[in-house]
Amino acid sequence: MRHYQQRGSVIIIVLWTAVLLTVLVTAMASKVRLSAKTALHNQEAAGHWAQIMEAVNFAEMELMMERMQKPIGVEQETSEEGEILNSAYRFNGEALSLQYAAAENIVVRIYDHAGKINLNRIPRRNMQLLIEKRLGGIDADPEQVQNLLAAWTDWTDLNDLEGLNGAEKDYYLDLDQPYTPRNNPELDTVEEILNVRGFDELFAGLNLDAAFTIYGNTRTVNLNVATREAMQLLPGLDDELIETIIAYREREDISNRAEIAEIIPFENLQQLSSWVGNNTSNIYSIFAYPKLQADINISGDSLADEAALEPQDPVRQAYMEIVEVRSYNSLPRVYKVDPYGNLPDTAPARIEEYGIDL
C-alpha cells in the first residue's frame, strides 16, 4: 500500500513539474515573440522616420526651387481651357509629386499660409465679423459679440486698462489656473487665442492650425490655397460655396475678382470682398506621413465608377513643420515642428454631396 502511495506522489510531482515547465516555456515563448514584434515595429518605425525626414527635405527643396527661374523650354502646366496655371497654387494641401521624388508610400502635402487667417494682422472690424459668423451670423447676439470683441481688444492692446466689458489682468489672475494677458498684438502661437476670455468656447472643435496663422504679413486669404477650415470662418461663404470654390480651383486658377464673381453670388461677394486677395506668402506648413488606404464599400452597380472614386485621406495627424522660404539659395527657416500635427480637411471637392455643376 505504501508502495502505491509513493508511486502516486511521484506521479503528482512529475505532473506538477510538467505543468510548471509548460507554463515557463509558454511565458518565455510569449516574451520572445513580443520582443521580436517590438524589434520589427521599431525597425519599421525607424524606416518610416527616415523616409519622412527625406520627404520633408525634398519638400523644402521644392519650395526653394519654386523661387528659381523656370528653365528654357520647360512647358508650364495649363488648364483645360489652355490657361497657364500658377505653380505656387499647388501648395494648397493637395498630395504632391515632388521634383525629387519621395518614397512611394509617403504622402507630402504643403499649405501656403496665405490660405489662412492671420491673427496678428486681422483688423478689429474683421475680427468682429469672424465672431459674428462663428456665433450664427445674423442670429448672433450683439451683446455677446461685443463682449468677445472687447476681450480680444484687451488681450492685444499694449496696456492693462480694461475696456468696457473687456478682460484684463485682474480677470485672468482670478482664474483657477491664473495667467496674465498678452497685451501685445503679436500672438506667439495660434493656440494662444483660446486663452482670451470666451474664445475657448467660440472656437471649440475647430482645427486652429488649419484655420489660422501667426506668421508673415499677409492680411488677406487667397482662395486658391485656402483651407476649408479658414473658408468656413469667412463671411459670405457657406459649405456649398466652399465646395464650389474647391471644385473650381481643381480645374483652373482663380486669378481675379471677376472670376470669383462667376462662382459666388453678388451679395455673398460683398461680404467676402475685404477678406480675399491673390497674394502668396513665404510661410508654409509641410506635412509628411506614410500612406494609408481608406476602406471603400462599392456596390455592384457602381463598380464601373471605381476608378473615378477619390476617397478622403484617412490620416488625421502627421509630422508637420512650419517653415519660411525666402529664396532658392538659402535654407528654409523652421518656426515650428510638431510630430503629431493635425491635418486640415484634405478631401477633394464634395461635388456630388452638394450637387455642384460647374
Q: Give the number of residues written for the chain.
A: 358
User: Residue 305 — pLDDT band, cuts 50, 70, 90?
Assistant: very low
Which run of H or E residues covers position 337? strand 333-342
User: Strand pairing of 333-342 and 117-118?
Assistant: unpaired
Mean pLDDT calculated for residue range 322-331: 95
Asked if 220 contacts 277 with a C-beta cutoff of 8 angstroms, the reply is: yes
Separation of alpha carbons 115 and 227, rounded Å: 6
pLDDT at 41: 74
Q: Where are the alpha helices (DSSP H) in the chain?
A: 2-65, 124-134, 142-156, 169-173, 199-202, 208-211, 228-231, 239-251, 257-263, 266-272, 351-354
pLDDT, tens only, 74-133: 777 777 777 888 999 999 999 999 999 999 999 999 999 999 999 999 999 999 999 999
Mean pLDDT calculated for residue range 305-325: 79
pLDDT at 300: 46
pLDDT at 306: 42
User: Residue 3 — pLDDT band, cuts 50, 70, 90?
Assistant: low
Residue 310 has pLDDT above 80, yes or no: no
pLDDT, tens only, 60-79: 999 999 999 887 777 777 77
Q: Residue 94: phi, psi to the nearest 5? A: -70, 150
pLDDT, tens only, 36-62: 888 877 877 788 899 999 999 999 999
Asked if 194 contacts 206 with a C-beta cutoff of 8 angstroms, the reply is: no
Count of helix runs (H) and strand runs (E) in the chain: 11, 7
Separation of alpha carbons 115 and 1, rounded Å: 93
CA nearest neighbour of 108 among 274, 338, 292, 286: 286
User: Residue 6 — pLDDT band, cuts 50, 70, 90?
Assistant: low
pLDDT, tens only, 179-203: 999 999 999 999 999 999 999 999 9
pLDDT at 74: 73
pLDDT, tens only, 135-189: 998 899 999 999 999 999 999 999 999 999 999 999 999 999 999 999 999 999 9
DSSP state of 289: E
Asked if 76 contacts 84 with a C-beta cutoff of 8 angstroms, the reply is: yes
Separation of alpha carbons 113 and 250, rounded Å: 18
Q: How many CA atoms lie within 13 A of 68 on its CB side?
A: 12
Asked if 81 contacts 94 with a C-beta cutoff of 8 angstroms, the reply is: no
pLDDT at 302: 45
Any idea which of 15-29, 183-197, 205-219, 343-357 has the lowest mean pLDDT?
Answer: 15-29
CA nearest neighbour of 284 among 320, 323, 318: 323
Neighbours of 283 (CB within 10 A): 24
Predicted TM-score (pTM) of this structure: 0.85
Q: Identify the burial level of 257 via C-beta atoms within 10 angstroms of its C-beta, where 0-12 means exposed, 13-18 middle and 19 or more buried.
A: middle
Asked if 66 contacts 88 with a C-beta cutoff of 8 angstroms, the reply is: yes
